[in-house]
Structure 1
Amino acid sequence: MTAPKTVLITGTSSGIGLAAALGAARAGWRTIATMRDTGKAEALLKAAAETGVADRIHVRRLDVTDPESIAACLDEVIAEHGRLDALVNNAGAAQVGTIEQSSLDDVRTAMEVNFFGVVATTRAALPHLRAAQGRVITVTSVGGVVGQPFNEAYCAAKFAVEGFMESLAPVAATVGVDVTVIEPGAVASEFVANLGLDVPALLTAAGPYAPALQAYIARTQQSFGNAQTPAEAAAPIIDALSAERPAFRVQTSPWARDFVATKLADLDGSAVQDLTRAWVR
């Protein structure tokens, strides 16, 4: 009897990560569901029990901004299961604001979680993935292709992830490791709620940017009213885990495909600028 393959997923306490952990377990993967605070595992464990996959989900602590935490988690996975066949980089954090009113520490924090955390986790996992002829799947965003108002730091980090993975993919392929990026659009999850934004306070503090910010918030609230569910956004991750030859770039919805296509066909940048300028008027 063939032993199940092992996948490690970061950021599984809620949203896409939680849905991906459940989906991977349902697909037969031994799923290492990691999170920075394992005290937040209750929702995942409850859902795993309800769907009959609790025996395939193993919650472990992993903080993507802490190299020692990453190494300890991977050492434990290899000691217990002997292999790692896939890594899903999902952990991330939003950061809303424009640079004149954000601190450099705010920008550095966004880069640490959303970019350097992905780089560090991928780097540590690659020797094991190479041994297993496995794959790296990274959740980026349509914001990793199209820069979006009041998301300068977040989009910068996601752009960096896309560039890193696009550059890594052909090199990793030479040693048998596939690389894929998953690009969701709006997803109805705690990712947005966890921002804890005080909108009136933000608008009060925005000064000359207040009208643009108000327009952006109104547009964003509308777009999240028609958002995908986390399970819908996670489905392409599960497909990429099992595909014989996964695509490098995968959008999670027709809307996301159309949105990304605007940028990929926009040689002089005018189409994207026309699109996003309308969000802040």
Structure 2
Amino acid sequence: MTGRQVVLVTGCSSGIGLATAAAACRAGWEVVATVRDPGRAGALRAAAPGARVRRLDVTDEESVAECFAGVERLDALVNNAGISNFDPTLEMSTAQALRANLEVNFFGTVAVSRAAMPLLRASGGRLLTIGSVHGVIGQPFNEAYCAAKFAVEGFMESLAPVAAAHGVRVSVLVPGYVPDTRFGIFPDVNRRTVQAASGPYAETFAAYGERIGAHWAGAGQPAAEVAEAVLRALAEERPPFRIPTGAWAAAYLDAKLADRDGGTVQRLARDWIGHTPADTPAHTP
């Protein structure tokens, strides 16, 4: 071990996790970069050659314990590991996709955070979690992922004051769409197959597919930009709890957090699926 501060980052094989591990190495952190499949760590080793690469499956308690058994000091945890899906939740033949989202995105995040907390208490460290705008505003046909990310928001918001009383700062970073990552890419799923599986919701899904692209225009930001937001949060003496990583995400959050009765978000979502009741004027925040 060196005298440098130590950060553990989950989900580093690609995307935000890889970019964060690389940025933290460049900033002088001692980086423990975790991956579920070490066979996919080639890009990580190239981008962050100084990182200590460890296997970690956040859904496996034994894997979590083994990963942390070799960590003697920890100044920061970045919960990044996650999955996404794109399914007509109400037509699922089983709850498999919903359970998978909760196991990885919520229970996995909780398991890693619990394992890290004794070390973070000892160092007066930071617990950062990569959230999502979908943990604040629900997205049609992405109900399972949204449910998991909403749960993460609630858990971390509840944990934050308790952790702070014991010297640990908790923050959730909220990016928008990050196109330069494999997260959310499903080679065996396309619009036609999802629509075909949507049953009575097929027409609604078709309208959604036609309209949502315009909504996401301008929402994208590179993984490296999110990683820089993570490094800024780690450097702040008193980082805020919720940190949008770009202007688009900030505006998105503003729309929801000012929406006391939920009407603004519901009108927005109805516009996405092409359903605007006669007594409900269309509105976009």
Q: 1:265: how far off?
A: 0.5
**C-alpha distance in 2 between matches for 1:39 and 1:216:** 37
Give the whole-Å Cα distance in 2 for the aligned partners of 1:267 and 1:195.
39
Q: Which amino acid aligns with 2:208?
A: Y
Structure-2 residue corresponding to 1:97: 87
Distance in 2, matches of 1:27 and 1:143, equals 30
Contact 2:88 2:194 in 1 (8 A): no
What residue in structure 1 maps to residue 227 of structure 2?
A: 234
For normalisation by structure 1, the TM-score amounts to 0.92
**What pairs with 1:71-82 in structure 2 (closer than 5 Å)?**
71-78=65-72
For 1:35-85, what per-residue CA distance to the aligned partner results, in whole angstroms no more than 9, with x for missing partners? 10011111111223xxxxx22x1111000001110111011122xxxx011
Structure 2, unpaired ranges of 5+: 275-285
Aligned equivalents of 1:195 and 1:92: distance in 2?
A: 17
Is 1:213 aligned to 2:199, yes or no?
no
The residue type equivalent to 2:127 in the other structure is V
CA distance in 2, matches of 1:217, 1:14: 27
Establish whether residue 30 from structure 1 lines up as the match of residue 30 from structure 2: yes
Check whether the contact 2:176–2:219 (CA below 8 A) recurs between aligned residues.
Answer: no
Kindly provide the CA deviation profile for residues 223-271 of structure 1, in whole angstroms up to 9, marking residues without a partner as x.
Answer: 2775111111222111111111111000011110111111100010000
- Which segment is superposed worse, 233-242 or 203-212? 203-212
User: In terms of mean alpha carbon deviation, does 123-132 or 193-202 score higher?
Assistant: 193-202
| Residue 237 of structure 2 corresponds to residue 247 of structure 1 | no
RMSD of aligned residue pairs (Cα, Å):
1.5
Amino acid at match of 2:129: T
Residue identity matched to 1:24: A
Q: 1:204 aligns with which of 196, 200, 216?
A: 196
Quick check: which one's helix share is greater?
1
Does residue 1:61 correspond to 2:93, yes or no?
no
Aligned match of 1:39: 39
* Match among 147, 159, 163 for residue 156 of structure 1: 147
Moved more, 199-208 or 103-112: 199-208
Tell me the CA shift for residue 200 of structure 1: 1.7
Identical pairs, percent: 53
Q: Deviations over 1:120-159 (max 9, x none)?
A: 1000110010001101000010111111101111111101
Distance in 2, matches of 1:187 and 1:21, equals: 16
Deviates more, 1:187-196 or 1:86-95: 187-196
Tell me if structure 2 keeps the 8 A contact 1:7–1:30.
yes
Distance between the aligned counterparts of 1:234 and 1:215, measured in 2? 34
What is the CA–CA distance in structure 2 between the aligned matches of 1:236 and 1:215, rounded to whole Å? 35
2:165 is aligned to 174
Counterpart of 1:51? Answer: none
Residues 87-142 of structure 1 deviation map (CA, whole Å, 9 limit, x = unaligned): 00000111222332122122111100010000010001100100011010000101
Asked if 2 retains the 8 angstrom alpha-carbon contact of 1:110 and 1:153, the reply is yes
CA separation of 1:121 and 1:172: change in aligned 2, threshold 3 A: same
Contact 2:88 2:197 in 1 (8 A): no
Aligned partners of 2:188 and 2:240: how far apart in 1?
Answer: 35
* Per-residue Cα deviation, 1:190-239 (whole angstroms, up to 9, x for no partner): 10224642322212222221222223334444527751111112221111
